[in-house]
Amino acid sequence: MNRKDMLNKLQEPEKVWDMVVVGGGATGLGVAVDAATRGYSVVLLEMADFAKSTSSRSTKLVHGGVRYLQKGDVALVLEALRERGRMKANAPHLVKDQAFVISNYTYWDNFLYFCGLTLYDLLSFGFGYGRSRFISPKKVMEYLPTSVKKGLKGGIVYHDGQFDDSRMAINLAQTSADNGGVILNKAKVSGIVHDQNGKVAGVKFVDMESGKEMQLKAKSVINACGILVDDLMAMDSPGHSKMVTPSQGVHLVLDIKFLQSDY
C-alpha cells in the first residue's frame, strides 16, 4: 500500500465511485473489504491513521458475546460466535485461543456457569475454540494460584479468543487494497456533496499532508466515524440531534505476579 499511488487514483474528479467509506477503524475497513471483494469501486478515507481511534484500544478479545447469553439474546450470540470462528479461520496469525477460569464461591454458580457456558459452546456449532469444563477447587488454585481459597467451591474453564486489533485493521486495509479498494489515511472528510435533489452524491476531503481540498463523487457514502458519527451526520443535515454519547473504558495493567497464570 503506497499512499501516493492511492492519492493518484483519486485524481479523476468526474469518476463516480460506488462507495466512499468515511473512517478507517474496524467498521470502515471491514466495509471496504466487503465492498472491494464484491466488485464495487470503493474509496476509504481516514483522517488520522488506520485504527488510530477505538480500534487499536480494545480489550483485544474476540468474544462470541457470552454476556448477551445472560440477557437471552441468542440471535446476537449466534452471529457473534460465527464471526469469532471466521476471524480465526481468516486470520490465524492474529487470533489465538484464550482460556478463562471463572472461580465460584457457591455451588449454584458452578451449576449456572457450567450450563450457560456449555450452551455457549453448543451454539458455536463447530466454530468453537475449546469445550468448557468444570474444575475442582484444587484445580482452580493450580490454574490461578493467587485466588482466594476460603469458600472456593470450584470453577469453570471456558474459551474465547484474543487478537491483535491494530494489526487486524492493517490487514483489512491491505486486503481491501489487494482487491482494488483505494484506502487513504490522513484524509479528513470536511463536507458532504449533494445533487440537485438534495441526495448525498459524494464528499469533500482535505489531504492532511498537503492541505489541499478534493472532492469525490459517489453513489453512496458510509459513515463509519465511530464516536464521531454525529459530526458527519451534522455535515449532511445541520441541526442533526446526536445519537451517540461517547463513553470511555479503562484498562488496568497488572504485574504478572498478581495472577501468575496464563488463564
* Chain residues that interact with ligand FAD, rule: CB under 6 A: 22-28, 45-48, 52-55, 58-61, 188-189, 224-228, 232, 249
Closer Cβ to ligand FAD, 133 or 167, answer by number: 167
Closer Cβ to ligand FAD, 62 or 140, answer by number: 62
Residue 203 Cβ vs ligand FAD, minimum distance, rounded to whole Å: 9
C-alpha cell at 77: 450470540
Q: Are 160 and 100 in contact (CB under 8 A)?
A: yes
Closer Cβ to ligand FAD, 140 or 173, answer by number: 173
Residue 179 Cβ vs ligand FAD, minimum distance, rounded to whole Å: 19
Q: In the chain, how many H helices and how many E strands?
A: 8, 10
Q: Can you spell out the DSSP letters for 87-99?
A: HHHH-TTTEEEEE
Closer Cβ to ligand FAD, 149 or 240, answer by number: 240
Q: Are strands 61-62 and 200-207 parallel, antiparallel or unpaired?
A: unpaired
Phi-psi region of 201 (alpha: psi -120 to 50; beta: other; left: phi over 0): alpha
Task: Report d(CA 205, CA 144) in Å as an integer.
Answer: 52
Count of other CB atoms within 10 angstroms of residue 154: 22
Residue 229 Cβ vs ligand FAD, minimum distance, rounded to whole Å: 8
Residue 262 Cβ vs ligand FAD, minimum distance, rounded to whole Å: 18
